[in-house]
Amino acid sequence: MRDRHAIIAALIVFFVVLTFPIWYARAAGTTSRGPEPKLPETEKTCVMPVEYMRASHMKLLLTWRDDVVRRNVRTWIAPDGKSYKASLSGTCLRCHANKAEFCDRCHTYAGVTPYCWECHVDPASIKGSGT
């Protein structure tokens, strides 16, 4: 046991390295929790139940896209009978006005980069630039 000190020191270093992600996350202030998108305060319900929107909003948007562009149908009737203007900038972003705190938070968290915004315009981003 002449190497006791060296072994203990090495073990300590080993455990520090092993638990490094935990210390690092603490220090950086990040957590392992979800993306926490900020929901709009003005509206309580979306066009579809929250479970559906969470999992399948992209499918709904593709339906809206095909309705408007290819079928010239601009109004979408929800299963509950309410009708909405099928528009990303006009309907979605009217409530979810803060794209950065809603869309982007989840998309960044999930590591997806939808290219909607290469063409579709976030009205808030225009107001900032003025002119």
Partner 1 sequence: MSFSRRAFLGAAGLSALGLTGKAAIDAFALQPPHEPASTPAGTRWAMVIDPKKCLEAGDCTACLDACHRTHNVPAIDNRAHEVKWIWKESFEHAFPSLQTDYPPDALRDKPVMVLCNHCDNPPCVRVCPTQATWKRSDGIVMMDWHRCIGCRYCVAACPYGSRSFNWSDPRPSIAQITPDFPTRSKGVVEKCTFCEERIARDEPPACVAACHAKALVFGNLNDPESDVRSLLRSHFTLRRKPELGTRPAIYYIV
Residue ranges that bind partner 1, judged by CB under 8 A: 65, 69-70, 72, 74, 89-90, 115, 118-123, 126, 131
When the beta carbons of 16 and 69 are compared against partner 1, the nearer one is: 69
The nearest distance, CB 121 to partner 1, in angstroms, is: 4
Extract the tokens encoding 89: 């900038």
DSSP string computed for 66-117? IIIIIH---EEE-TTS-EEE--IIIIIHHHS--TTTTHHHHHHHHT---GGG
The nearest distance, CB 120 to partner 1, in angstroms, is: 5
When the beta carbons of 45 and 125 are compared against partner 1, the nearer one is: 125
When the beta carbons of 26 and 120 are compared against partner 1, the nearer one is: 120
Instruction: Say whether 47 sits in a helix, a strand or coil.
Output: coil
89 and 121 in contact (C-beta within 8 Å)?
Answer: yes
Q: How far is CA 107 from the centre of its chain?
A: 4
When the beta carbons of 2 and 115 are compared against partner 1, the nearer one is: 115
User: What is the residue whose two structure tokens read 């006005």?
Assistant: 97
List, in sequence order, every residue forming a beta bridge with 75; answer none if it has no partner: 85
